[in-house]
Structures are given as C-alpha cells and as structure tokens.
C-alpha cells in the first residue's frame, strides 16, 4: 500500500511541513534578527538598485557586519522579495522553501537507499525535527546551504548506482553553489568531495570522479577569488576572526603560558577536538541545543526530539543492514559535518552545523524501520512518545518562545517605525538609538529596519553619511541628554535605559512606549513640543 | 584471570586523567564504603543488589551535598533548593509558562504546566553526564577510547554483569538531581565500574587492532597534563 500511495503520503507530509513552517511566520520569531535584516535589506537593495547597502554592484560577498556574508541567499531571495514585498515573508519564505525541498530530497534519497517506508519515515522525522523547523522559519543561509549539500550528495549516491557522469555534473553544481550559500560549506564540501569517492575507490576508480571535481571547482572559482580579495582588503574581517585560534581563550593562554612548545601547540590543536566532541553531546542534541530559553529551563529542546534517541541507537547498530554498501557514506557524511564548525570560536553553534541534521535523520529513520519490523508494540509506543514530545516542542516554540525572545531579535524597531510612520512627515529630524535592552546592553541595527520597512529607499541608504550616521532625516546615534541640542520638529526613539530626564521632560513630550514581547518597555518615543 | 600488566596500565591511565585529583580529595570513609559495596555486589550479585543500590544512592546524594545526615540527633535532611525539585529558577519558569499559556483553559493550564516539567531539566543533566565530551574531559582521550572499547567488549561477552550498568546509571541519575553540581563528585562513585571497563578495554579486540593509535592518544593526554 505504501508503495502504491507513496506520492500521496509524501504530499501529505509536505503539506504538514509547510503548515508547521509557514503558520505565523511573521510573528514567530517575533522580529527579524540581526543577520536576517541584513540579508533582507541587501536582497531588497540588489533588486531595486543592483547594489548592496554599501553601494557595491552585484557583490560576491555582502559586507554586512564585516562578516562578508555568502551571497546566494540574498540573490535567490529577490523573487520572494518581489512577490511578498518588504516584510517577514519576503525574506523568510526562501528558507521555508529550501526546507521543503530538503524534506522532498531526503525522501527520495531514503527511497533510493531503503525503499518507500524508509523514505516516508525520513521525511516525517525531518518534518517534525525541532532544529529544521526553527531554522526554516528564519532566513538562515546555512539552511539553504545544507539543502544544496543534500541535493549534491543525493546525486553522488545516484552516480554510484548508475555510473552516469551526468549525475556528477548536477552534483557538482549543487555542491559548488552550496559554497556560495554559506561559509561552513567552504570546508565541508571539499571534505565530502575527497572522502566519499575515496571510500568507494575499489568500486569506482578515483579518476572517474573528475566531472564532479571540475564542475565544483569551476563553480567556486569566482567566490574563491572574492574570498582572497576580502582577506587582502579587510584582513581583520569578522568572518576570519571566527577561527578558533583567534579566540580570547587561546590568545590569553598563549600570552600567559610558560608551557613548553609541544604542549603549547597541543593545547591549541586540541581545542577544536574538544569542540568536535561537543557536537555529539547528548544534552545539546536532545535536550538543550536549541537554546530557546535560559539554561536549565524545562521547556528547552535539543536539535532532535529526545524520544528519537532510541531509534538513533538502533540505527547506529544496524547501519549495514539499513544502508548496505552506502553505510560508510552516510556515517562519514554525519562525521564530517561538525569538523568545520569545530574550527570556529565560541560555543557549539548549531546553525554552522546544520548539514549534520540530514544524515542523522537518515540513520534515525533506518532505526525506526528496524524497530517496526522487530516489534509493532514498541514502535507504536515510541511513536506515541515522539508525538507527545513533538507536541511539547510545539507548545514551547509556538507559544512561549516568541514571548521571551524579543531581545534576541532586536524587537521593537519595526514596531517603533509602524507607530511613527503616519506622523513622520510632520517631523524634520528623527533620532533613533541603536542601543536597546532593559539596560541598553545590546546594539541593534535600526538603519536596516527603517530602510527595509520603508522609511527610505535603498539608494538613500547607499548615499548615507557614515560619519554622522545620517540617512536622509534619520539620525542613528546614542543620545547623551546633557549634550543633546533638541531641535524643533524632532522625534526621538530611545532605549528604555535612557529616558529623558529633567523637569516636565524639558522640551520633549512622551508620545508612546514600545513594549517588548515580554511586555516590558523597550523603547520610548518623544516628540518636541509644538512651540 | 587478572592481568597485572593491564592493571598497571589502567592505573597509569587514571593517574594521568584529570579525574585523579578528585580521587585523592575524597574522604577515606566514602572510598571504604564504596569498596565494601562493590565487594558485596560482586560477591552476592542479585541477592542483595537492592540493598547495595539503596545505600549507594544515599551515599551518592550525600557526597553531592543533597542529603545530610546528623548522626548525633539522627536527623536526615534533603536540600530541595539545590535539586531540580525546588530549584528557584525552574519553579519560576513553570509559573511564567502558566501565565503565558493562554491556549488552554485555566484549570487545564495548572495541570499542563506543573511540576512534571522538572523532569526535562533533570533529563538534560543526565544527558550531559552521558555525553562523550564529558568523559573525554574526565578521563582523557586515551581513557575515553579505552572505556568505549571496554563497554563494547562488555556487551559482546556472554555472561554480562548487568549490575555494573545499573551501578553506573544510578550514580549518574542521582548525581544529576543536583542543579549546579561538581562534575567530578558527580561521577566519583562510578570509579569501580570505570576501572572495570578500562580493564576490559585492554582485553578488547578494538584495542588489539588499534593499540598503536591508542598509545598516541595516551601521549597526547600525557602532554596535556
């Protein structure tokens, strides 16, 4: 029956996946985040002027916050921006679509590896995967990149079976463009290109893979040149400062240590090894890796549902049974993914290791299939537990997460703009503070929110006065009320940490307050008195 | 048969592990009780396992500073506030969820957002203690790889002493009850099981096949100390 109605079942799963990913997309996450707004504005800017925020014509990397973002997401998003306009859908829908494509392709790959049942299980497990839901509702470049890697790897699998060079050509295209989509893939893709052919060198001679290598190489040449160009032009860019040996911990260690040289070298080298193991921490994978809530809170969830752990274990013990000659490929795919993220600074960043989710889900689906074959009762019991687990995740993510996460997404800038939009024409100067948070401890990007949501167009942004932080009549600066010269017809949007002091608010009148998602005041909006 | 050479190697592995400091900082009484309990369970196995495990849990809660005994007044107390049962942060979070959870009627809300949610925070800590990185940091790369080889060997042998697995898991589960516990103290009582698995590791096929790589890991651990 499953074979006969495979496509109907898969369509139903895709409808469920789309529902889980699209519902309330503009409200959860509650606001466009730091990276999202940057990509969103650049995409809009490219669509309308052909240049990015800084006026660079069709860039191969977007300067953004000096992290020189990979360009593919912003370019592929142009049609979505055109159709949906400058709002949350206009930037997040591409991520939703790439997630749906990933679900479709994992189903096709699993069907190729183990038949229709495995395919539907894999698709369903990815559909309800907390990490995939989370990232597909935000404009993460890594989500797009991991889908492209999946597509590339899928065609490599097909090549091994059918040995047609055409598959390698397609695979090379996808893998090459995945490097255009996210930085992590710059390391992961070469690793896959070397390790996968090497693992089956007895079956397929290494020289037969040339189409794959050449295609990928040709695709990445422009981005490679741009990468080196950036390193020369801006050697202290944020992207290159993310390498592990530039971390504060390593720098302090090297500065203060008296250890002998071999130990010093080893300490530096071993740091990413610890981090690599960190990616396999059960608490990160199953109970708290999503970091939706503060540590130790009960509704924290991991990258995978905790009740999928048993099927992962069963899958790991039955790899050969499930995947046959492809077992080593699936395992290597899984093991290679955390290597590049381990070479970066900071805690385990799940976004950098997103590609890891796909092969793990394949193993879980295989484990589930084995369990179904061995014990119907146990598999039904586990299915119920997984569904309860998913329901709890749904409550945590769709109900509670938006209420607590305002600060993480710079909540308030869009709302402040929405409030002043009808009256903005009556004012000659609008001053907005980049700092926000209850103590003004965070720094936001109000210029991008204002630009994206319609305060000024992309051209005005490109012509802005960086020294004065002035864009048209909008001034972005932190305000010291003792030194501020308050001019007539001015509006002030200031952090709650910086209220206007003085008798009767001086010459300013409080118009309104903008509240955070947790109902605490985030911004204060003042206007100058009429006279 | 106990191989003396393997025993020495196990001791060396433990000596170079970060775990070593804690072994010597534990009160002698606790070490003695552990030894007695270990002896009892090895000797009598399932017959008195329940009693051994009960004492083991109490001792583990005691060294994790959750359970207090006052022999003079025969008073026993449990530090609820340091455990997941009454840890302030978790309780406050559950109350907050209840206030936010307007998707269900008030009465059901009180049931849905109640103390059972504590279980998730507890499981999270158990998961942490079961993670590979935790053990790598405790007993080094060489110790961890040897322990994994030992565990695989343990499960492949016919006459498995399952009480060891129970001993190991009970310690981790009870230690995880403390919210901000000391990692070393949390696993201190698993020491006999760890030693046994390390010992088995040396006898395993994996070690036999890859012992050269293991020596490299050992060298790395040695250099890192």
A277 touches chain B (CB under 8 A): yes
Residue A433 is predicted with a pLDDT of 94
As a whole number of angstroms, the distance between CA A213 and CA A208 comes to 10
CB contact under 8 A, A296 and B130: no
CB contact under 8 A, A300 and B120: yes
Evaluate whether A162 touches A314 at the Cβ level (below 8 Å).
no
Per-residue pLDDT band for B1 (boundaries 50, 70, 90) equals low
Closest listed residue to residue A449, CA positions, set A10, A9, A53, A50: A53
Chain B: residue nearest A393 by CA? B120
Q: What's the CA dihedral at B183, A289, A185, A366 to 10 degrees? A: 100
Give pLDDT tens digits for B60-98.
Answer: 998 888 888 877 888 888 888 788 888 888 889 999 999
CA angle A281, A285, A290 (to 5 degrees): 120
For residue B159, give Cα distances in angstroms to B153, B155, B162. 11, 9, 9
Is the pLDDT score of B4 beyond 80?
Answer: no
A286 touches chain B (CB under 8 A): yes
The answer for A 223-262 residues in CB contact with B (under 8 A) is 262
Closest listed residue to residue A288, CA positions, set A302, A277, A276: A302
CB contact under 8 A, B103 and A395: yes
The number of residues in chain B equals 225
For residue A29, is the peptide bond before it cis, meaning its omega torsion is within 30 degrees of 0? Answer: yes
List % helix, strand, coil for chain A (3-state, nearest 5).
Answer: 60, 10, 30
- Could you say which of B90, B100, B125 has the minimum Cβ distance to residue A403? B100
For residue A266, give Cα distances in angstroms to A52, A254, A262, A521, B143. 43, 12, 6, 49, 18
Evaluate whether B133 touches A274 at the Cβ level (below 8 Å).
yes
Which of these ranges, A391-395, A506-510, B55-59, B196-200, has the smallest mean pLDDT? A506-510
Could you list the pLDDT tens digit for every one of the 531 residues in chain A?
888 899 999 999 999 999 999 999 999 999 999 999 999 999 999 999 999 999 999 999 999 888 889 999 999 999 999 999 999 999 999 999 999 999 999 999 999 999 999 999 999 999 999 999 999 999 999 999 999 999 999 999 999 999 999 999 999 999 999 999 999 999 999 999 999 999 999 999 999 999 999 999 999 999 999 988 988 888 877 777 778 877 777 888 888 888 888 888 888 888 889 999 999 999 999 999 988 998 888 999 999 999 999 999 999 999 999 999 999 999 999 999 999 999 988 778 778 899 999 999 999 999 999 999 999 999 999 999 999 999 999 999 999 999 999 999 999 999 999 999 999 999 999 999 999 998 989 999 999 999 999 999 999 999 988 777 889 899 999 998 888 888 888 999 999 998 876 544 557 888 999 999 999 999 999 998 764
Give pLDDT tens digits for B27-42.
Answer: 888 889 989 998 998 8
Chain B: residue nearest A279 by CA? B133
User: Which residue of A281, A298, A309, A348 to mutate against B (max B Cβ within 10 Å)?
Assistant: A298
Closest listed residue to residue A65, CA positions, set A242, A245, A255, A301: A242
As a whole number of angstroms, the distance between CA A223 and CA A265 comes to 32
Residues of chain A with C-beta less than 8 angstroms from the C-beta of B93: 293-294, 297-299
A401 touches chain B (CB under 8 A): no
Q: For residue A492, what is the enclosing H or E element? A: strand A490-495
What mean pLDDT, rounded, does chain A reach? 92
Chain A: residue nearest B117 by CA? A298
Provide the β-strand partners of residue A226: none
For residue B116, give Cα distances in angstroms to B74, B85, B94, B119, B122. 31, 10, 10, 6, 10
The number of residues in chain A equals 531
Pairing outcome for strands A470-471 and A442-443: unpaired
| CA–CA min distance B213, chain A (Å) | 16
Is the pLDDT score of B44 beyond 90?
Answer: no
- The interface pTM score, or ipTM, of the predicted complex is 0.87
Query: Phi-psi region for residue B20, left (φ > 0), alpha (ψ -120 to 50) or beta?
Result: alpha
SS (H, E, C) chain B: CCCHHHHHHHHHHHHHCCCHHHHHHCCHHHHHHHHHHHHHHHHHHHHHHHHHHHHHHHHHHHHCCCEEEECCCCEEEECHHHECCCCHHHHHHHHHHHHHCCCCCHHHHHHHCCHHHHHHHHHHHHHHHHCHHHHHHHHHHHHHHHHHHHHHHHHHCCCCCHHHHHHHHHHHHHHCCECCCCHHHHHHCCHHHHHHHHHHHHHCHHHHHHHHHHHHHHHHHHHHC
CB contact under 8 A, B224 and A281: no
Residue B79 is predicted with a pLDDT of 81
User: Which residue of B122, B123, B124, B220 to mutate against A (max A Cβ within 10 Å)?
Assistant: B124
For residue A203, how many other CB atoms are within 10 A of its CB? 10
For residue A308, how many other CB atoms are within 10 A of its CB? 27
pTM, to two decimals: 0.92
SS3 A186: helix
User: Which residue of A30, A265, A283, A291 to mutate against B (max B Cβ within 10 Å)?
Assistant: A283
CB contact under 8 A, A281 and B89: no
A306 touches chain B (CB under 8 A): yes
Q: For residue A215, what is the enclosing H or E element? A: helix A210-233
| CA–CA min distance A396, chain B (Å) | 9
CB contact under 8 A, B124 and A400: no
């Amino acid at each position: 029956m499953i074979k006969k109605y495979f496509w109907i079942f898969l369509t139903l799963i895709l409808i469920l996946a789309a529902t889980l990913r699209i519902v309330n997309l503009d409200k959860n996450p509650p606001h466009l985040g730091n990276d999202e707004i940057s990509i969103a504005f650049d995409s809009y800017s490219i669509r309308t002027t052909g240049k990015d925020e800084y006026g660079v014509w069709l860039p191969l990397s977007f300067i953004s916050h000096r992290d020189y973002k990979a360009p593919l997401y912003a370019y592929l998003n142009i049609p979505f921006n055109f159709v949906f306009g400058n709002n949350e859908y206009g930037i997040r829908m591409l991520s939703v679509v790439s997630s749906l494509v990933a679900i479709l392709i994992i189903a096709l790959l699993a069907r190729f590896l183990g038949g229709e049942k495995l395919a539907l299980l894999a698709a369903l497990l990815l559909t309800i995967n907390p990490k995939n839901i989370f990232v597909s509702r935000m404009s993460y470049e890594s989500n797009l990149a991991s889908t492209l890697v999946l597509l590339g790897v899928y065609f490599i699998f097909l090549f091994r079976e059918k040995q047609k060079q055409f598959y390698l050509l397609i695979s090379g295209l996808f893998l090459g463009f995945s490097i255009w989509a996210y930085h992590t893939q710059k390391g992961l893709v070469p690793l896959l290109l070397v390790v996968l052919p090497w693992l089956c060198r007895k079956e397929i001679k290494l020289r037969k893979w040339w189409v794959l290598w050449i295609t990928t190489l040709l695709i990445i040449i422009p981005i490679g040149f741009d990468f080196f160009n950036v390193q020369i032009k801006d050697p202290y860019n944020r992207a290159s400062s993310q390498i592990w040996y530039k971390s504060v911990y390593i720098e302090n260690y090297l500065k203060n240590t008296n250890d002998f040289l071999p130990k010093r070298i080893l300490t530096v080298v071993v740091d990413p090894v610890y981090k690599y193991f960190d990616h396999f921490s059960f608490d990160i994978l199953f109970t708290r890796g999503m970091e939706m809530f503060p540590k130790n809170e009960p509704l924290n969830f991991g990258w995978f549902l905790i009740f999928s752990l048993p099927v992962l274990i069963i899958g790991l013990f039955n790899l050969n049974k499930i995947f046959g000659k492809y077992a080593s490929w699936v395992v290597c795919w899984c093991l290679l993914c955390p290597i590049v993220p381990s070479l970066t600074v900071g805690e385990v960043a799940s976004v950098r290791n997103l590609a890891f989710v796909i092969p793990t889900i394949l193993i879980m689906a295989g484990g589930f299939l084995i369990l179904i074959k061995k014990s119907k009762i146990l598999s039904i019991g586990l299915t119920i537990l997984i569904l309860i687990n998913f329901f709890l995740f749904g409550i945590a993510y769709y109900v509670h997460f938006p209420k607590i996460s305002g600060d993480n997404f710079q909540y308030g800038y869009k709302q402040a703009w929405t409030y002043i939009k009808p009256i903005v024409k009556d004012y000659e100067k609008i001053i907005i503070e980049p700092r926000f948070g209850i103590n003004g401890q965070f720094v936001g990007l109000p210029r991008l929110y204002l630009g994206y949501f319609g305060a000024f167009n992309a051209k005005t942004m490109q012509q802005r006065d960086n020294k004065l932080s002035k864009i048209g009549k909008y001034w972005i600066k932190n305000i010291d009320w003792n030194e501020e010269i308050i001019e007539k017809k001015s509006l002030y949007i200031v952090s709650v940490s910086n209220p206007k002091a003085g008798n009767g608010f001086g010459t300013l009148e409080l118009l309104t307050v903008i509240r955070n998602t947790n109902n605490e005041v985030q911004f204060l909006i003042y206007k100058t008195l009429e006279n | 048969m106990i191989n003396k050479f393997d025993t020495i190697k196990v001791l060396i592995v433990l000596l170079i592990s970060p775990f070593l400091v804690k072994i010597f900082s534990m009160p002698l009484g606790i070490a003695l009780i552990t030894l007695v309990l270990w002896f009892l369970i090895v000797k009598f196995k399932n017959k008195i396992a329940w009693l051994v495990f009960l004492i083991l849990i109490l001792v583990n809660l005691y060294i994790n500073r959750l359970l207090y005994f006052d022999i003079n007044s025969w008073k026993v107390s449990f530090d609820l506030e340091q455990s997941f049962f009454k840890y302030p942060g978790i309780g406050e979070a559950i109350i907050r969820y209840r206030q936010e959870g307007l998707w269900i009627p008030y009465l059901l809300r009180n049931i849905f957002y109640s103390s059972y949610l504590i279980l998730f925070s507890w499981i999270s800590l158990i998961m942490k203690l079961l993670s590979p990185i935790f053990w790598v940091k405790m007993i080094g790369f060489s110790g961890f790889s040897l322990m994994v080889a030992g565990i695989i060997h343990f499960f492949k042998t016919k006459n498995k002493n399952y009480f060891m697995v129970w001993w190991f898991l009970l310690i981790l589960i009870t230690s995880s009850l403390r919210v901000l516990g000391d990692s070393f103290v949390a696993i201190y009582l698993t020491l006999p099981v760890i030693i046994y698995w390390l010992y088995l590791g040396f006898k395993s096929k994996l070690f036999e096949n890859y012992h050269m790589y293991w020596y490299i890991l050992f060298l790395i651990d040695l250099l890192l100390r």
